[in-house]
Amino acid sequence: MTLRHKILLIFGATLVSLNLVLYAASSTILLNRFNKLEKERVRQNVERVIEALANEQNQLNSIAQDWAPWDETYSFIKDANKRYIKANLDDQTFGNLRLNIMLFLNSNGQIVFSKGFDLQKYQAEPIPQRILNYIYADSALLAHHNFRSCHTGIVMLSEGLGKQDETAETDTKELPILMASCPILTNKYEGPIRGTLIVGRYLDRTKIKRIAQQTEFSISTYRPENGMLKDEQVGSILKLDELRLPRLNSVKTYAECSAFNANCPITVQSLSADAIAGYAKLKDIYGKESLLLRVELHRDLYKQGQASLRYFTWSLLIGGAIFGLVGITVLEKLILSRLASLSAGVKSIGSSGNLSQHLKIPGSDELSSLATTINKMLTQLDFSQTALRESEAKFRAVSEATPIPVVITRASDGVPLYLNEYTALTFGLDREELLHHKTSEFYYDLAEREALLEAFMCQGYLRNYEVRAKKADGTPFWVSASLEALMFDGEAAILSAFCDISDRKQIEQALFQEKELAQVTLQSIGDGAIATNAQGEVQSLNPVAEILTGWQTEEAKGQPLSEVFQLVNETTREVVENPVTAVFRENRIVATATNMVLIAKDGREFAIDHSAAPIYASSGQIMGAILVFRNVTQARNLSRQLTWQATHDRLTRLINRHEFERLLEEAVTSSKTLNQQHVLCYLDLDRFKIINDTCGHAAGDELLRQVTGLLKSKVRETDILARLGGDEFGLLLYKCSINRALQIADYLREQIQNFRFIWDGKTFSISVSIGLVAIGSNDREIACHVGSANVLSAADAACYAAKSKGCNRLHLYKADDSDMARQFGETQWVGRINQALEENRFCLYSQTIAPLTSDWSEGVHYEILLRMLNEAGEIVAPGSFMPAAERYNLMPAIDRWVIRKLFSSLANSGLRMGNPKFNGKAQIPLQKSLYAINLSGASINDDTFIEFLQNQFTFYRIPPQIICFEITETVAIANLSKAVQFIQELKKLGCCFALDDFGSGMCSFAYLKNLPVDYLKIDGYFVKDIANDPIADAMVEAINRIGHIMGIKTIAEFVSNETILQRIKEIGVDYAQGYFITKPQPLTEILSNLIASEFLLTVNC
């Protein structure tokens, strides 16, 4: 029966059925019944589609379960051998399994192998990068808690393999992929789990179409978050679980369902009068909603019901006849005739074999779409055949260019199907002649050929199998053969490639002959060498080995190596396993072990380095071992000496600061991890500098050695005593409470106080100041819970606090101690000051020192003041950081920065040094202006400072006459002879000097006559109270009078109001400085004002 007859028969039966039903039922009952039947039909069809998708997923899961528990896969994850890839992961495997993605990951989640495959183009493509986002430590794809654990589901990718079809029936911008993940195990499902196998198949248009063809439905997929479906623009929007669908009369409820669960609720919606659809929401592998499945069907039943009702209304018989006539005509014109044309065209192409011929079916319906699809398939087939021909041509071109014999033989009888030109050259026959010979004639020994084929049949491939071949004249030669099975011209064939290795075989023979030469070499090297057989028995010793072991070759031969070569651990004195035993057990070279000592036959001991290696026979079996060792006794002793010197102080033989800090860090760690309490003591000798300066460094060194001996005799063996530098010591009291530590520290203080040092008949007494810090104490008030560096700084600060309170005392660090906080804060300033110097975050200010007479010939002076900018760019007053800079010897660097900065500012200001300018009223010579710079005591005691200053004068071309240096009275008195020498040296250059804070010292007038200064700066402590305190007034008047008698100019500081200014004028003070005169200003502003106003001001810096 033809299709036309079948369609006419069905059509007629339908008309008769409709007439009978319409006669039997009312219109209302009929339509409701058709609606129910239609929805039930849609639900069943949706279930069929879900079941088809589930079958796809189950098939994918079966593939993963077949490949993952496989011994070869298990081995491949470990060694990533290319044999496995070539044998199992070629394009044919992906095509047969219809896989798009395959990933092999090891137990760390690292990809061992990955491959993507385009099933339409039948070629490999890169793995989409988005898929790597699903591979991480806790990913569902990698979480396998038992050996039977496998995960399957949907994963959404933003990029697919190959270019997506623009006509794809989906509104998803992401491409769904079905994925299955299984743990990689052995064939017996045994572990441990070595990794994960992931396989995937794209749920793209082609897959949906294939499922649609299987189920004969129109199937579409959508992303839930994409909103309203494109072709459903009627009705209001019903929000169901974040999915927007048109609300029509037939919509009921929507329920979520897991991926491919045929029992999940299904929603049926009427899309139009002609179409109805069923919906099911699919979840991905993580349980998230990922796809909306839509199965669309024509509303045949519903249309039939309506037609029947119309025919029933007008006329059952007349309407049925007209409908049948029109239907038959339409079917004939629109479907049947076109189907006949389509069938005829396909038959024509099939009979002719002309794939370039195309079908021509007009229209835009399914038949024309089918014709278009068939045309595309024909084009793809034509392209594939062309590509196949090109591939074969490329293979032949590559084969002809390959400089090794390549032969393709028929698998059944070994007859050559193809061979390249190099094969003919190698075997000495013409190409055509070789095609008439079987490959068995190429082999020199048929038994070797049979062994080769047997190995090939077992493995399915062969690589670098060494066998002898023969040329046309019978000459044998060695080749390395590689075999691979393939299809050639539609026949099962074997690809063979031969590489001539005759030269290599000759080299191997030569190497074997040179082995004896190596034995001779061992006899002449400078290291000891012992050769053994496979049982570990001594075979020979070279001369050096005989000397070191004390054994002669004759008496040692045949003895177990452990008898001749006895090793012990240098530290534990335990017998060490013979290295040759490890060589035989592990079949590898055993490198040298540290701290090994060789005990000779006569009891002598040698520190040695050694290594042992296996000796292989030509068959690859171990035939013995060679042990090489060297006498490193001298080198090891030198290494110990260097290690000791790196961690100890050479003078006192105590550990040094670096090693002490390391041990302190361990103690801090143990206090946290083991809940232990320790105490750190920081000891600083009092009056050590006096002895060192008066008696010399030799006396100071001897004093340190004697104090070290005293301290070592008084502390516990478990405690650590170290010299931290100079006259400072560190003592770490292990597992000691703070009360016990205070007792120990006070006992040490008394011992040092009672100690007397005798040098050159003179007796000296010293004392010690000790700072203590508790480490790991539960008492938060005294504990220091920080790193070793801060613990040491806290102890240093505590020691400094003890010194500042009069020396010869203890001070315990406390978190709320204001003095400690200040001292500890100073240590924090050290780093900030150094960083500010490196980043140039200091700036100069200046304050006017104004003359109090009408004579401006002396010029206007400026004192240079220093400010620091913090990390936020804010001004920091010198009182915050100067104490730390003075204590930690940072003042020389600051003084030098100030000088460089001032000199460079003057040099770049544009002012002409040494040339006068006029302001219209008085002439102010620049060379009489003074810039006053404060100097620290550390710079005065620096022997290189004067040389530095001379270089700065020369480099910036600054006249020394305009520079004045200020030193405090306290600094000058502390080292009077050094201060006098320093001042005299700088006055020779032309600089001036001012004595700052004069009057604050206890013996100011007594020392003044020895200091060749030019200015006296009266201490502001007296000046600020001059109007209210007669004593202060008398002091200022006395200092001013004595200064004038000695020819020294006087400067009053802290002039804060008019009353003070008038009083110092009455007294006769020469200059005034204070906030009433001017407040400090940035130096750059002063210099800018000088140039802008063309006034020449004398600045005292």
The CATH number given to whatever domain includes residue 863 is: 3.20.20.450
Which of these, 336, 341, 298, lies nearest to 8 by C-alpha position?
A: 336
Within-domain flag for 412: yes
Angstrom distance (rounded) from CA 773 to CA 123: 73
- The larger pLDDT score, comparing residue 929 to residue 812, is at 812
Within-domain flag for 777: yes
pLDDT band (50, 70, 90) for residue 960: very high
Angstrom distance (rounded) from CA 819 to CA 929: 43
Angstrom distance (rounded) from CA 985 to CA 1007: 19
pLDDT band (50, 70, 90) for residue 386: confident
Give pLDDT, residue 769.
95
pLDDT mean across residues, the chain? 81
Residue whose entry in the numeric block shows the structure tokens 């898929």? 131
1078 and 973 fall within a common domain: yes
Give pLDDT, residue 252.
33
pLDDT at 1063 > cutoff 50: yes
Within-domain flag for 348: no
Tokens of 62: 């079966």
> Which residues, in sequence order, are bridge partners of residue 269?
277
885 and 957 fall within a common domain: yes
Within-domain flag for 194: yes
Centroid of chain to Cα 658 = 30
What are the residues whose beta carbons fall under 8 Å from the beta carbon of 899, sequence distance 6 or more? 933, 948, 949, 952
Amino acid at 941: N
At 755-780, the pLDDT tens digits run 999 998 889 999 999 999 999 866 55
Looking at mean pLDDT, say which of 242-246, 259-263, 717-721 comes out highest: 717-721
- The larger pLDDT score, comparing residue 513 to residue 236, is at 513
Angstrom distance (rounded) from CA 732 to CA 660: 9
For the segment 1073-1078, the average pLDDT, to the nearest whole number, is 92
**Going along 877-1026, which residue ranges are E strands?**
917-918, 923-924, 930-934, 963-968, 992-998, 1015-1018
Within-domain flag for 302: no
Angstrom distance (rounded) from CA 44 to CA 56: 19
Which of these, 149, 154, 133, 165, lies nearest to 200 by C-alpha position?
A: 154
437 and 519 fall within a common domain: no
873 and 857 fall within a common domain: yes
Within-domain flag for 300: no
**Going along 911-1059, which residue ranges are E strands?**
917-918, 923-924, 930-934, 963-968, 992-998, 1015-1018, 1049-1052
Among the residue ranges 43-52, 257-266, 422-431, the one predicted with the least confidence is 257-266
3-class secondary structure, 940:
helix
- The larger pLDDT score, comparing residue 492 to residue 264, is at 492
Angstrom distance (rounded) from CA 353 to CA 242: 53
Tokens of 306: 């309506």
3-class secondary structure, 916:
coil
Number of domain units in the chain? 5
Give pLDDT, residue 722.
95
Contact of 927 with 961, CB cutoff 8 Å: yes
Amino acid at 618: S
496 and 607 fall within a common domain: no
Within-domain flag for 371: no
Contact of 1099 with 931, CB cutoff 8 Å: yes
Angstrom distance (rounded) from CA 154 to CA 789: 56
Phi and psi angles of residue 23, each rounded to the nearest 5 degrees, phi first: -70, -30
1038 and 925 fall within a common domain: yes
pLDDT at 914 > cutoff 60: no
pTM check: above 0.75: no
Give pLDDT, residue 381.
80
At 681-695, the pLDDT tens digits run 999 999 888 888 788
For the segment 436-440, the average pLDDT, to the nearest whole number, is 76
Angstrom distance (rounded) from CA 1099 to CA 924: 11
* Domain that includes residue 732, residue range: 648-816
Buried b (16+ CB within 10 A) or exposed e, 120-155: eeeeeeebbebbeebbeeebebbebeebeeebbbbb
Which of these, 645, 646, 654, 794, lies nearest to 723 by C-alpha position?
A: 654
> Which residues, in sequence order, are bridge partners of residue 567?
598
Amino acid at 449: R
Give pLDDT, residue 186.
92
pLDDT band (50, 70, 90) for residue 6: confident
pLDDT at 121 > cutoff 60: yes
Boundary of a domain, candidates 168, 198, 214: 214
pLDDT at 161 > cutoff 50: no
754 and 903 fall within a common domain: no
Residue length, the chain?
1101
Query: What is the SS3 assignment for 263-322?
Result: CCCCEEEECCCCEEEEEEEEECCCCCEEEEEEEEEECHHHHHHHHHHHHHHHCHHHHHHH
Tokens of 775: 């480490």
555 and 492 fall within a common domain: no
Contact of 1024 with 1047, CB cutoff 8 Å: no
pLDDT band (50, 70, 90) for residue 912: low
729 and 662 fall within a common domain: yes
pLDDT at 300 > cutoff 80: no
Within-domain flag for 128: yes
770 and 863 fall within a common domain: no
DSSP string across 530-549: EEEETTSBEEEE-HHHHHHH
Boundary of a domain, candidates 214, 233, 267: 214
The CATH number given to whatever domain includes residue 599 is: 3.30.450.20
At 270-298, the pLDDT tens digits run 888 788 888 888 888 877 877 888 888 88
1004 and 855 fall within a common domain: yes
The CATH number given to whatever domain includes residue 689 is: 3.30.70.270
Boundary of a domain, candidates 638, 672, 705: 638
485 and 512 fall within a common domain: no
